[in-house]
Structure 1
């Protein structure tokens, strides 16, 4: 009997399709299904590279910490959901923090940048053993071989009478710089158990970082020589942490391993240095 080639091919294709469908139906889903979560005006490829509002109202903590730009789910979110400056926020705890694999493509695309967030903290910052020490709203744990184990972190440290803000960045060559507001430049009123907005902007044109608190620029602008583009090695970011430093000695007083003990809300990362009008719009809109 002569076999019809086209019919044979159709049978084969049907069989393969059936196998594929069966495999797909059994596939384990590693991330939650997409639901409703806060979006922000940002065209494809726009300057806003990461945005977590922590506004989820589901029982799934990973969905509650989803990044709205790329639907990037946290790999771990052990933090409690609380009322925020707008909608919900997260409450930091000792030795706990939110983990993401990457800040999307921020590390690859940012030459200038803005990191902006709302926070609330009552009084003296503490290390994980309860002694006075720094707390970290954000850090990038890194495999770059830098002494800190990071290529970026932000520190808030002190009490309500005198609070320091410190930012460390290491570039692709492990050349690093500290942008700090400390010692005679500490800031009063930051840790009064009220919501405050922080924005940190770095300009590749001037190699300068400006600290904005509640939309007002601090007069002490910090500079990294003539460094130019920030030039972080995105491939070496092994974990993005919201609410902790890059260290792993969680049960000690290690300053690099300290976690944030206050509240955090509306976390944004831009690949541009936002102008003051845009920062003030975030403040007035509680965004």
Structure 2
């Protein structure tokens, strides 16, 4: 037979267990995954996606970036990452993008003119490499600040792909993308044709010389197998523990909806990204 004291002790024990369970629930961290995602099956075409909704996480693999001197600002959709003269985000990898041959890199940017004098060339992003080449990168986009300088209405840009330069300089400068407004940029490379197509605000960039986008290195199919981390807002050196060359500056503007695909997006697919502000 239970005594009164035993009953009281049992009730107290049950109460303590219940309170302990409640306390544990309050201390649990929020579940991972509370960030924007695209519909993309495992191993699907979208290899890397950072929406910058008050976090630098890449949604594809919950791959958190390491932020240096950056903040968040109003983006084309929700929030965006805001860089500066010393601001950039480093990711340890671009997931399995390194297996790609065809590819697309797409993002939104907003910048008010080129970097100020002495600020260096503006690197929007840099895909670093473990291979010992002087650029330390397999792919990047930068805006020139000297020689063929950029301006608010004409951007002198260079897209670099596996040691081949596609130069939007002189008469090929890109109009009105550094005018402090949001603009969508996409570079789509099709390994079956070895051709790079450039899109600005959802439309293919025209007025380029015939054969401008022909990629002649790596047998016409870029080899990303030795790619390492990726830097958004600066040169890829930061991802491999190296110091950028003196002329290499950080972007200093805002970037939103940064995507890497392992396929060449079509013109219609790029336009859809632009129209939906993705």
Q: Which residue of 2 aligns with 1:156?
A: 143
Q: Which residue of 2 aligns with 1:98?
A: 89
- The answer as to whether partners of 2:197 and 2:213 remain within 8 angstroms in 1 is yes
Asked whether 1:206 is paired with 2:207, we answer: no
Counterparts of 1:207 and 1:187 in 2: how far apart (Å)?
22
- The answer as to whether partners of 1:180 and 1:222 remain within 8 angstroms in 2 is no
Report deviation, 1:179: 1.6
The structure number with the bigger radius of gyration is: 2
Q: Which residue of 2 aligns with 1:141?
A: 128
Report deviation, 1:142: 2.4
Asked whether 1:165 is paired with 2:122, we answer: no
Give the 3 Å change call, closer, same or farther, for CA 216–33 of structure 1 in structure 2: same
Question: SS at the partner of 2:156?
Answer: strand
Counterparts of 2:153 and 2:49 in 1: how far apart (Å)?
31
Counterparts of 2:111 and 2:53 in 1: how far apart (Å)?
19
Q: Which residue of 1 aligns with 2:66?
A: 75
Give the 3 Å change call, closer, same or farther, for CA 259–146 of structure 1 in structure 2: same
Report deviation, 1:249: 4.3
Q: Which residue of 2 aligns with 1:125?
A: 115
Runs of 4+ aligned residues of structure 1 deviating over 4 Å after TM superposition are 247-250
Report deviation, 1:66: 0.7
Question: SS at the partner of 1:222?
Answer: coil
From 106, 116, 133, the counterpart of 1:116 = 106
RMSD: 2.1
Report deviation, 1:264: 0.4
Q: Which residue of 2 aligns with 1:52?
A: 50
In structure 2, list runs of 5 or more residues that go unmatched: 1-28, 145-149
Counterparts of 1:280 and 1:191 in 2: how far apart (Å)?
20
Counterparts of 1:197 and 1:205 in 2: how far apart (Å)?
25
From 229, 238, 241, the counterpart of 2:221 = 229
Report deviation, 1:76: 3.5
Q: How many residues are treated as equivalent by the alignment?
A: 236
